């Protein structure tokens, strides 16, 4: 009989993430350094476990009109069908058409951070995304509507007690759909997901692993990003 245990492996994955986030919190005194270390933990998790068609980075997002998003801690984006990314001195710029999901990553979740994450999500979602017809062996498919961009929040702990109660539920209600947070993970306490009309909260029990699986499931249902109109960006060569 095999000595492997799937339950044990999934538990170890969560415990590793929670331990690394806790170490970053305890080891670094400078808030900026602490935040950067926490952000890197989440980036590395997704880099390691998401399918290879996806990439992750801290980045700004740009559209073909020249509008930019705010800086985003964790962007999940396409590299299989999106040829255009700009990198300079550790700054990454990603076209809006390439984006699948955006997350704000911090040590502790609270009302201010939720509002901040909602603002970041809205700054990406309001960008314009192009979509071209798709050639195939039998002809051409019409342009597909750009898929919804997922948004969420990632943290180690919560400032609320209990972590998942009415204050969090109230904070998660955005002013409009542009700022809605679809899913999140508070590694020490659990996960939350927007189900179409309400939020569901999952108590502790491998939250980081549960978040990873839910993200992958939602990315699967999103399918593929729309075909980017590179010429819409090329017009900026003449300005």
Query: Which residues are identified as catalytic?
Result: 73, 104, 106
Residue among 178, 220, 234, 215 nearest 56 (CA): 215
Work out whether strand 150-155 and strand 183-186 pair parallel, antiparallel, or are unpaired.
Answer: parallel
Q: Which residues pair with 80 in a beta bridge?
A: none
Token pair for 189: 């306490």
Q: Tokens 């195939």 label which residue?
A: 136
Strand partners, 141: 134
Q: Which residue stretches of the chain are H helix?
A: 6-27, 31-49, 111-125, 166-171, 207-222, 230-234
Residue tagged 């948004």 (tokens): 151
What's the gap between Cα 122 and its chain centre?
A: 13
DSSP string for residues in 88-99: ETTEEEEEGGGE
Give me the half-sphere count of Cα atoms (radius 13 Å) on the Cβ side of residue 74. 28
């Amino acid at each position: 009989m095999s000595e492997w245990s799937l339950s044990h492996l999934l538990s170890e994955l969560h415990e590793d993430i929670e331990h690394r986030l806790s170490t970053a919190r305890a080891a670094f005194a400078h808030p900026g350094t602490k935040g950067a270390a926490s952000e890197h933990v989440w980036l590395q998790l997704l880099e390691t476990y998401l399918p290879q068609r996806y990439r992750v980075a801290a980045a700004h997002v740009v559209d073909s009109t020249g509008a930019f998003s705010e800086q985003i801690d964790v962007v999940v984006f396409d590299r299989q069908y999106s040829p255009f990314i700009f990198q300079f001195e550790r700054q990454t710029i990603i076209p809006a058409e390439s984006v699948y999901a955006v997350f704000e990553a911090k040590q502790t979740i609270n009302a201010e951070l939720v509002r901040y994450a909602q603002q970041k999500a809205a700054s990406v979602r309001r960008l314009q995304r192009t979509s071209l017809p798709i050639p195939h062996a039998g002809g051409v498919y019409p342009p597909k509507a750009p898929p919804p961009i997922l948004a969420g929040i990632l943290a180690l702990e919560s400032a609320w007690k209990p972590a998942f109660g009415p204050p969090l539920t109230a904070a998660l209600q955005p002013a409009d759909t542009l700022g809605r947070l679809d899913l999140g993970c508070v590694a020490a306490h659990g996960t939350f997901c927007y189900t179409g009309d309400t939020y569901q909260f999952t108590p502790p029990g491998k939250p980081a692993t549960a978040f990873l699986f839910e993200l992958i499931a939602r990315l699967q249902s999103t399918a593929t990003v729309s075909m980017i109109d590179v010429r819409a960006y090329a017009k900026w060569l003449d300005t």
